[in-house]
Amino acid sequence: MNFEVNSTNSVVKAISDGSAPRPAQIAASRGMLPLPQSDLLEALVILSHSDDKELSQNAEKTIKAQEASQLKEVISSDEAAPIVLDYFAVQETLSQDIYELVIANPKTPSESITRFAKQTSNGELLEIISFNQQLLINTPDLIDAIISNSSKTKEADRRASEVKEEFFEKERGAEQIAKELRAQGNETAAEFLEEADFTTELEESSKENEISLEDAILLAEHIEVLDDDLHDSWLGLEYIEEIYEETQEERDEIAKKMIGDMKADDEASNERISIIQQIMKMGMKDRVKLAMKGDREVRNILIRDPNRLISQAAVQNPKITEQEIEKVSTMKTVPEDVLRQIASDRKWAKNYVIIHNLAKNPRTPIGNTMSILTRLQLRDLANISKSRNVPDAVRRHAKRLSEARAGR
């Protein structure tokens, strides 16, 4: 660390720039020059950093021999040299009252206090540092030094953590995180964070039921579809009226329902339940975007959302696979609109497994099921005609079709 000479004394300046005669330097290193105490200490500290071993060793011994009362007077002074304050900040065997004076002096370089905070084992001193909120705000590395120091007190940890959250994590915001994600090559996650409505509220979010920055990053990591890959022409004006903000109670009920549905399907892992809880902190517009752009895990969750706009968005996700649709077509916990949408999609209708599953699923709207029955094989029609898991109308129609095909 480089420091400018604080003293206006010509002798100190000559010692600093090396122009002082060697006898004068040796005399200064032994504390024998008639200098004011503050100038002498500055000269000694400068010499302690000298490459000349004799000078540096002499200076170290002379500093240690200084009376405590004289040291305190200089260290607490407004005229104290930053290089002197830095020197004492990183010494390891000083009394606590000297360290307190170094910490309290506004001329002590923040880098020096940060180094002190990293190496000290005195939790009380770390606590004193943590009370200087302005210093913490101006020195982010100091916050991390306090938090990572195993000797910190609970109070020091609390204060440093609060400043970090209030002035740095929140100020990072979605825009900063998006830049970081993009720099890592995660364009999809960055794009989602930049466009999501909830990101405008991240800086104010502090309540349990509001989405946090950590939640936002977690959800963004589940995004795999770029805007350019979306086909949202299906999102007609007739659905716009459904985009509104639910109350927190309504969101809690939706989360409870989805978790219950997943438990019924034996798919409710702790990790999945946690993701559901994070998702349900989002408004409906953001859940629609998440459904259309999310990965398999997100689709598996949001396809169960009781709001048809969100569940249908999951089906419209361009990354959804036939295997996923085959599974969804068997589910009795998805909204009927999802099954209706699958049944009406020409792409999925070409898959016999999907239409057969839809025909057997009692949740499939009857109108769609009746149309599908005409395309089933005789054996499958016969089985459906005997099934007690489908509506009576479906069973009867399957029986009529199977008998007609059999010539009876």
Residue 146, pLDDT score = 96
Task: Output the six-digit token pair for 270.
Answer: 């702790």
pLDDT digits (tens, 9 = 90+) for 356-371: 999 999 999 999 999 9
Residue 236, pLDDT score = 55
Percent of the chain whose predicted confidence (pLDDT) is above 90: 54
Q: How far apart are CA 86 and CA 379, in angstroms?
A: 88
pLDDT digits (tens, 9 = 90+) for 84-104: 999 999 898 899 999 999 999
Task: Spell out the residues 6+ positions from residue 380 whose beta carbon is closer than 8 angstroms to its own.
Answer: 356, 359
pLDDT digits (tens, 9 = 90+) for 249-278: 888 888 888 888 888 878 878 888 888 988
Least confidently predicted of 1-10, 264-273, 275-284: 1-10
Residues 53, 29 contacting (CB under 8 angstroms): no
Choose between 185 and 56: higher pLDDT: 56
Average pLDDT over residues 171-178: 66
Q: How far apart are CA 289 and CA 61, in angstroms?
A: 69
Statement: residue 338 has pLDDT above 80: yes
Q: How far apart are CA 174 and CA 196, in angstroms?
A: 9
Residue 237: pLDDT band with limits 50, 70, 90: very low
Residue 221: closest CA among 272, 295, 288 = 295
Residue 13, pLDDT score = 92
Residues in the chain, total: 408
Residues 328, 320 contacting (CB under 8 angstroms): no
Q: Name the residue ranges covered by the structural domains of the chain.
A: 1-108, 186-320, 321-408
Residue 242, pLDDT score = 57
Residue 281, pLDDT score = 85
pLDDT digits (tens, 9 = 90+) for 189-234: 888 877 777 766 555 444 556 677 677 777 888 888 877 777 666 5
Q: How far apart are CA 293 and CA 403, in angstroms?
A: 46
Average pLDDT over residues 14-40: 92
| DSSP-assigned letters across all residues of 267-287 | ---HHHHHHHHHHTTS-HHHH
